[in-house]
Structure 1
Amino acid sequence: MTVGVKAGLSSPLAFAHGPEWANRFAVAPLTTMQSHRDGTLSEDEYTWLVRRAEGGFGMVMTCSAHVSRAGQAFPGQLAAWDDRFLPGLARLAAGIAEAGSVSSLQIHHAGRRADSRLSGVPVIAPWDDPTKDARALTTAEVEQVVADYVAAAVRAEQAGFHGVEVHGAHGYLVCQFLSPRNTRADRYGGPLENRKRMLLEILRGIRESTGSDFQLGLRLTPERNGIPLVEARTVAADVLDSGLLDYLDMSLWDAFKETYEEEHRGRLLIEHFTDLPRGGTRLGVAGKIGSASDAAWCLDKGADFVLIGAGAILHHDFPMAALADPEFRLVQPKPREHFVAESVGPVFLNYLSENWDDYVA
């Protein structure tokens, strides 16, 4: 059993586009808040991500980088909406590649979850939302946001990233368009066929505007955003079958749980997606994967790779540790000194200590 576990997780993973990954471990896109206030790359963010590449992850994904000025959700968020950010992005892509990993820039727009105090511009969303002081995008503005995603992907390719991941999860703009709350009267709202149109236009635009070696991924989440599981499964099936994606990243919050929806109880959430036809598209899962056996279990359930969040924070070399020892498991919390030694910058460390009880002792 030990040999089988190690062989599965350590085996390379090839894609329709771009380089293969050396193993089945990817760094999950994590909010770090440690870029500069203007969205340019900081030394702390560079060091944090390159250290994970040095630690043996097959793919290193950045934090979410907003594609429009109005899309900023967090202080210290990396940006990709203008050529002024190219030098930092190019340095980051080169650093990850030189450390031996495949790189991906996650591209993002917060929509109604944006913060106008940070962006300096009004909050925009699929619908008018007085609770967020957000106004509905016009049809032309939706088209412009689609173009912004495509432009950010092209910028990432120019910077040297091996690919991008479109952030379609966790209640941000693409996820908002997928929500049944989106009752827009134009072609981007109402029935699911319209609600998923923006996402498909983004994916198609990126695929058509980037090279044949550029990898394209998508993050979706099936729960906690008001999207029924049956619709989440439909969207996942559509993108897996579209031929546009190299991989689908399913953010499950907990890869080992049943769904919240009573009518679907008795079946694990992961199983609602691993049984979907995927052709040449790879399927990854994320959510509380904290040990070598957890990662192996996900592959046994049908995933092609795993995305590691907490493990990547606590151990820059999580893949090396997991492949060397099938009994390897996270131990939390850790003292602040541990995180400093793991190249977690002071801003990120403060964010962890103030918002997550199980990280910093």
Structure 2
Amino acid sequence: MPTGRSFGSSRLHAVVRRAGGRRAGPCQNARVAALTDTLRPAHGPLWRNRLALAPLTNTQSNDDGTLSDDEHDWLVARGRGGFGLTVTCAAYVAPEGRAWRGQLGIASDEHLPGLTRLAESLRATGTRSAVQLHHAGMRADAALNGVPNVAPWDEPRKEAVALTPEGVDRVIAAFVDAAVRAERAGFDGVQVHGAHGYLLAQFLDGRSNHRTDGYGGSLEDRMRVLHEVLAGIRAATGPDFQVGLRLTPEGYGVTVAEARETARSLLATGLLDFLDMSLWDVTMRPRDTTVDGRLVEHFTDLPRHGALLGVAGGVTSAEEARWCLEQGADFVTVGIGAILHHDFAARSLADPGFRARERPVPAADLRAEHVGPVFIDYLAAGWDDLIA
């Protein structure tokens, strides 16, 4: 979850208004899904609607990575609030991959009791649930973890050392083991974090990943670790377990063209139940001014091979969520709207005109939405215009 960003969505609202609720192109005559429509992933249970809770950093876990009551209550309130899929914050799969104090863990069986409690509580609300599996790589907190950071290449600025081939194998195994743990805990699935410059995304970095062991150099080799993580999870979990992935469309050493090819390649494997594109702003144009259109358009036309495609970034109203579906997304991932309203999903499904409250908001309003005090402190320190 990046810091220092304003939550202002007036530009998004203006784009939605200008679009007039229509999408140009060959899909214009096809029926656009409604937010209330159910979704059937390739594996496992039905999602009750097309709104998903974003995996939001909240720093509320205990120091050992076990689940706290505040984090439990934050997530369960969103399940009660109507989301079709509820995704946890990034949960570290290995001790050396922890990125910050208060991060949720899924690296050890010691984390299982809290995760099991959370999965049971979420299931009781009717939502589907997934743990986001995460390894920070060179962005880990080495001082907190007490071990050197690892990365695809030596990075002295981050005090990170290159993974050996055996080290890459251990990383893949850590993701697979964490997914098995999530299934044992009772979650419906996992989402692999391949975005925002963390370890798996670091392998995709064409500027710096020049490994010669099959995990660097060409794009095919740079994305190999993602293929192997997903294949390993699918092989180690049951036929009803849902496997998702989050990718970044541009940046961190990845071009739009390479992000599109990565998404195309991974969708074509048939391993994925869902792919979530983290767009920062769903109406955003590429930073590379030589690339036409909006970022979303470079992914919604891809063959999906049975997977569901989601988009995330700045959605704070029912109208904006519908616009995402009109662009060709299967579901919409909501972050700030779900912070402001635990029942953002239920409100948006019931009221086509629903819009999240104006910001900044008093901290007391967020507490009433089951946002714990540690999470409020994190938001106040890192985000513009949110808390009065």
Q: Taking structure 2 as the reference length, what is the TM-score of the superposition?
A: 0.91
Identical amino acids, percent of aligned pairs: 56
Distance 1:99 1:5 in 2: 30
Q: 2:340 aligns with which of 310, 314, 317?
A: 314
Q: Does 1:77 align with 2:77?
A: no
Q: 2:321 aligns with which of 295, 299, 304?
A: 295
Query: Which residue is equivalent to 1:337?
Result: 364
Q: What's the CA shift for 1:5? A: 11
Q: Does 1:129 align with 2:155?
A: yes
Q: 1:96 aligns with which of 122, 132, 135?
A: 122
Distance change in 2, residues 1:5/1:45 (3 Å): farther
Q: 2:198 aligns with which of 168, 172, 192?
A: 172
How many residues align? The count is 359
Q: Is the 8 A contact 2:204 2:253 kept in 1?
A: no
Q: Does 1:143 align with 2:175?
A: no
Q: What's the CA shift for 1:6? A: 11
Q: 1:119 aligns with which of 145, 148, 151?
A: 145
| Paired letter, 1:188 | Y
Distance 1:164 1:313 in 2: 21
Q: What's the CA shift for 1:7? A: 6.7
Q: Which runs of 5+ in 2 are unaligned?
A: 1-19, 22-29
Distance 1:51 1:5 in 2: 32
Q: Does 1:50 align with 2:50?
A: no
Q: What's the CA shift for 1:357? A: 1.5
Query: Which residue is equivalent to 1:245?
Result: 272
Name the SS for the 2:290 alignment partner.
Answer: helix
Q: Is the 8 A contact 2:33 2:325 kept in 1?
A: no
Query: Which residue is equivalent to 1:192?
Result: 219
Distance 2:32 2:269 in 1: 32
Name the SS for the 1:262 alignment partner.
Answer: coil
| Paired letter, 2:149 | V
Query: Which residue is equivalent to 1:10?
Result: 36
Name the SS for the 1:10 alignment partner.
Answer: coil
Q: What's the CA shift for 1:260? A: 1.0
Q: Taking structure 1 as the reference length, what is the TM-score of the superposition?
A: 0.97
| Paired letter, 1:18 | G
Pairing of 1:228-307 with structure 2 (within 5 A):
228-265=255-292, 267-307=293-333
Distance change in 2, residues 1:139/1:66 (3 Å): same
Distance 1:24 1:81 in 2: 30
Distance 1:193 1:231 in 2: 10
Q: Is the 8 A contact 1:72 1:119 kept in 2?
A: yes
Query: Which residue is equivalent to 2:60?
Result: 34
Name the SS for the 1:264 alignment partner.
Answer: coil
Q: What's the CA shift for 1:358? A: 2.0
1:276-302, Cα deviation, whole Å (9 max, x unpaired) = 111211000000111111100000110
Query: Which residue is equivalent to 2:51?
Result: 25
| Paired letter, 1:359 | L
Q: Is the 8 A contact 2:32 2:325 kept in 1?
A: no
Q: What's the CA shift for 1:354? A: 1.0
Q: Does 1:153 align with 2:197?
A: no
Distance 2:315 2:63 in 1: 32
| Paired letter, 2:253 | G
Q: What's the CA shift for 1:105? A: 0.3
